[in-house]
Amino acid sequence: GQNIDQPTEMTATEGAIVQINCTYQTSGFNGLFWYQQHAGEAPTFLSYNVLDGLEEKGRFSSFLSRSKGYSYLLLKELQMKDSASYLCADIGNTGFQKLVFGTGTRLLVSP
């Protein structure tokens, strides 16, 4: 894992769907997390993927392709409160949850 890459910033309108992509280095991969972080606040857990496929949780879904080193977070029915940074992070093969984060994608939802 590691070498996380995600877009710096995205914009979308309320009610729309947005997909935030993340790529990572596939060697030593043990799982991928998505966290949400509002400005000035702590990151909060959104999802964890270790197997290929789509995990759905309400308005948020996360997808993983291990062979491609690719994940995305899908946000549906966007709300203003979804304006935040979305952090992609992987864990290596250290045996504990040492998260290696990307720079985060700042999402701005407009009316």
Partner 1 sequence: DTGVSQDPRHKITKRGQNVTFRCDPISEHNRLYWYRQTLGQGPEFLTYFQNEAQLEKSRLLSDRFSAERPKGSFSTLEIQRTEQGDSAMYLCASSQGQVDTEAFFGQGTRLTVV
Binding site for partner 1 (CB under 8 A): 4, 30-31, 33, 35, 41-45, 48, 50, 87, 89, 91, 94-104
Residue number, 13 or 97, with CB nearest to partner 1: 97
What minimum distance in Å lies between the beta carbon of 25 and partner 1? 15
Left, alpha or beta for 107 (phi > 0: left; psi -120 to 50: alpha)? beta
**Among 105, 91, 94, which Cα is nearest to 43's?**
105
Residue number, 13 or 103, with CB nearest to partner 1: 103
The rounded distance, in Å, linking the Cα atoms of 53 and 64 is 5
Residue number, 33 or 63, with CB nearest to partner 1: 33
**Among 86, 84, 88, 85, which Cα is nearest to 33's?**
88
**Which residues neighbour 50 within 8 Å (Cβ) at sequence distance 6 or greater?**
30, 31, 32, 64
What minimum distance in Å lies between the beta carbon of 91 and partner 1? 6
Residue number, 18 or 88, with CB nearest to partner 1: 88
What minimum distance in Å lies between the beta carbon of 15 and partner 1? 28
